[in-house]
Amino acid sequence: MELHLLDFVSFFGYFVFLSFIGWYMGRAKKQAASDYFLAGKTLPWYVVGSSYIAANISTEHFLGMIGAAVLYGIVVATPEWSSVIAFSFLIWLFIPFLLGSKVYTTPEFLERRFNKEIRLLFALITLLANVTAFMAPVIYGGGLIVEEALGFNALFGLNADAVAAGYIPNWGLFVSIFLIAFASGVWAIWGGLKSVAWMDVLTIVIMLVGGFLVTFLGLSYLGEGSILSGFSEMIDANQCGDGWSAAWLGENVPNMLAGVSAGADYNRLSVLQPINHATTPWTHWVFSFFYIGLWYTVINQHMIQKVFAAKNIYHARMGMVFASFLKLLLPFIVVVPGLIWFAMKPEFLSTGNWPLMSEEANKTYILMISKLVPPFMTGLLLAALFGAIQSTVSSVLNSTSTIFTLDFYKMYINRRATERQEIRMGKLSGGLILAVSVLLAIMLAMTKINIFVYIQTLYTFIAPPFSAIFLIGMLWKRVNGRDALTAIIVSFALGALLKYLEYGPLAESQTAFAQFVKPFANQGLMVWAVAVLTAVVSACFTSSPAGEQVGEGLVFSFSNLSTLKEGLGRRWYSGVFFWWALSFVLMVVLIVYFSIVF
């Protein structure tokens, strides 16, 4: 990219202001562990919601999701809009339980409900997931943005063709990865969750303003100055009725739907896709909360930690309502640009090479900024992208160090650790975790993979077993720790078997069974169902858990329904129910529009 002086002014100005917020909010000396790990439980609803979504938005969205939208269409918006369903469960059912338990981490909650073994296993899987499914791909994607924008390879005098062919290492990308990791980790390690959460508010504001600017400029470009005409042009191209888009879709549809041949029907403007869709079959809408949404939104530490840090239950619930509205907006800045870029017919679509198209599609957003956005705003948008990366990495770093400190260090290494020692260990472990993530990000940089598909594949392998035991353990007192452990072992074994079948015996198969098994979303559903069934069967042959493991706040009971009515607000116009209902209705409208209308 050719950056103007004004771009550097806005870019560095943004980070100076962001750093000031991080310093100011984290400047107070941390006396208690809750001050460092949970921001002293002082976050208001707008910070809870902003930080929750900022931690969620990263290169998976601005690179992977937009890139996937170029290839698959509007269906990649499904994980965002369906999140409102998951948030609804969190708002109405899980927040009272989690806050009532007065725990710092979700592994701690699982120990109280099941046993120490489940806590240890979940904490270990969380550490691995945070590094492999969150931090590493986010840092790698951030490195792609830095290298594409600033061109370190050119600065180092490296031949671009030789780098692309793999004849020489991509040193520019490696340097970019190190810079992203350093810039992202500083405030998370120094200031703790309070610094991270308040920086996220600025990040969300700039991200939304800048994201909508790209969308509007893209539509204006398609419509030769008219946004409405551009929208019509985008719709026409993505309907693939005739011309180049119809030919492209007919040739590439076998990469989107398992087991079909060239020329098969495919609707790029529908969020409801067949059961054999490669990334997002219709089952995602119906069942995704159970096999992935429950894990991601409720027991995923780096997300739920913002809820733990809320002032009270009202701010926790209202924060998630605010997050619901942000989720409804997100596809208009991280999916629609992909549809616009498809309509602009980028050259890589004509290669006929799907892996190459997947790799090039990851660069869509950065190329749209370069082509469409004027000076000053280009720098600000690049800074907002870096802010999204920074917020995710910072949140994951803080939560990962929290789990390591409280679920490993405090439990198994130094049981008598003071709160000052816990804070020190949180900072040291954060630095080590960041270093490991950088190494894995470099490994990802040496492969060619769509970030969105990579992350979603990991989610659907890790999430289902723990989503299953958390849900059934909360709803049924009969399930004990041994039942939960058995379900986890069996379901992970099944997940590994399905991956073997996908890339082994069923790789070339066109049978109905193969078409159902290959999409990773369907694999997640099967693993979740088996985990639930295993826990139920096991519970029929084991003893009941101890009384303290099924007490108030740990298992749902009709006798404690009054706790679910706490923190709903005093007036209807500021109440949780009114704003939640509005967000839910808007989600239904979007589903109808992008499934029935088109």
Task: Using the predicted structure, report yes or no on whether residue 165 has a pLDDT greater than 60.
Answer: no
Average pLDDT, integer, range 386-403: 83
Let me know if residue 255 belongs to a domain. Answer: yes
Q: How many CA atoms lie within 13 A of 319 on its CB side?
A: 32
Write the pLDDT tens digit of every residue in 486-510: 999 999 999 999 888 888 888 888 7
The three-state DSSP-derived secondary structure of 193-227 is HHHHHHHHHHHHHHHHHHHHHHHHHHHHHHCCCCH
- Domains of the chain: total: 1
Task: Using the predicted structure, report yes or no on whether residue 167 has a pLDDT greater than 60.
Answer: no
CA dist 145 and 157 (Å) reads 19
Task: Using the predicted structure, report yes or no on whether residue 444 has a pLDDT greater than 60.
Answer: yes
Q: Which of 505, 533, 506 is nearest to 519 (CA)?
A: 506
Let me know if residue 414 belongs to a domain. Answer: no
CATH of the domain at 85: 1.20.1730
pLDDT for residue 164: 60
In three-state secondary structure terms, 567 is coil
Let me know if residue 325 belongs to a domain. Answer: yes
Q: Which of 256, 311, 213, 314 is nearest to 566 (CA)?
A: 314
Q: Look up residue 467 and give its amino acid.
A: S
Tell me the percentage of the chain whose pLDDT exceeds 70: 93
pLDDT for residue 143: 80
Please provide the size of the chain in residues. 598
More reliable by pLDDT, 527 or 552: 527
Q: How far is CA 575 from CA 57, 99, 484, in A?
A: 27, 19, 37
More reliable by pLDDT, 165 or 213: 213
Phi, psi of 184, deg, nearest 5? -80, -30
Task: Using the predicted structure, report yes or no on whether residue 59 has a pLDDT greater than 90.
Answer: no
Phi, psi of 277, deg, nearest 5? -65, 140
pLDDT for residue 295: 85
The end-to-end CA distance of the chain, in Å, is: 36
pLDDT band at 555 (very low <50, low <70, confident <90, very high): confident
pLDDT band at 19 (very low <50, low <70, confident <90, very high): confident
CA dist 448 and 442 (Å) reads 12
Average pLDDT, integer, range 9-20: 86
CA dihedral 43, 45, 48, 51 (to 10 degrees): -110
Q: Which two tokens stand for residue 371?
A: 């082509």
Let me know if residue 34 belongs to a domain. Answer: yes
Phi, psi of 43, deg, nearest 5? -80, 130
Let me know if residue 233 belongs to a domain. Answer: yes
Write the pLDDT tens digit of every residue in 61-102: 877 789 899 999 999 998 899 889 889 988 988 888 778 777
Let me know if residue 150 belongs to a domain. Answer: no
CA dist 498 and 492 (Å) reads 10
Write the pLDDT tens digit of every residue in 237-295: 999 988 999 999 999 999 999 888 898 999 999 999 998 888 888 887 878 778 888 88
CA dist 252 and 110 (Å) reads 45
Burial of 149 from C-beta contacts in 10 A (0-12 / 13-18 / 19+): buried
Phi, psi of 311, deg, nearest 5? -55, -45
Task: Using the predicted structure, report yes or no on whether residue 163 has a pLDDT greater than 70.
Answer: no
pLDDT for residue 598: 67
Query: Model's pTM, two decimal places?
Result: 0.85
CB 280 within 8 A of CB 264: no
Q: Which two tokens stand for residue 28?
A: 């107070």
pLDDT for residue 389: 79
Average pLDDT, integer, range 419-448: 85
Let me know if residue 69 belongs to a domain. Answer: yes
pLDDT band at 160 (very low <50, low <70, confident <90, very high): low
pLDDT band at 137 (very low <50, low <70, confident <90, very high): confident
pLDDT for residue 449: 62
Phi, psi of 310, deg, nearest 5? -65, 155
Q: Which two tokens stand for residue 198?
A: 């308040």
The lowest-confidence range among 53-57, 159-163, 307-311 is 159-163
The residue segments making up the domain with residue 585 are 5-119+203-375+450-597
Q: Which of 535, 427, 425 is nearest to 473 (CA)?
A: 535
Let me know if residue 332 belongs to a domain. Answer: yes
pLDDT band at 107 (very low <50, low <70, confident <90, very high): confident
The lowest-confidence range among 177-186, 201-210, 451-460, 481-490 is 451-460
pLDDT for residue 393: 83
Q: How far is CA 351 from CA 235, 262, 343, 356, 450, in A?
A: 23, 16, 16, 8, 17
Task: Using the predicted structure, report yes or no on whether residue 151 has a pLDDT greater than 80.
Answer: no
pLDDT for residue 219: 96
pLDDT for residue 156: 62
Average pLDDT, integer, range 344-370: 87
- Residue 262 is classified by DSSP as T
pLDDT for residue 157: 65
The per-residue pLDDT of the chain, averaged, comes to 85
In three-state secondary structure terms, 271 is coil
* β-strand partners of 257: 277
pLDDT for residue 313: 92
Burial of 375 from C-beta contacts in 10 A (0-12 / 13-18 / 19+): middle
Phi, psi of 257, deg, nearest 5? -120, 120
CB 373 within 8 A of CB 4: no
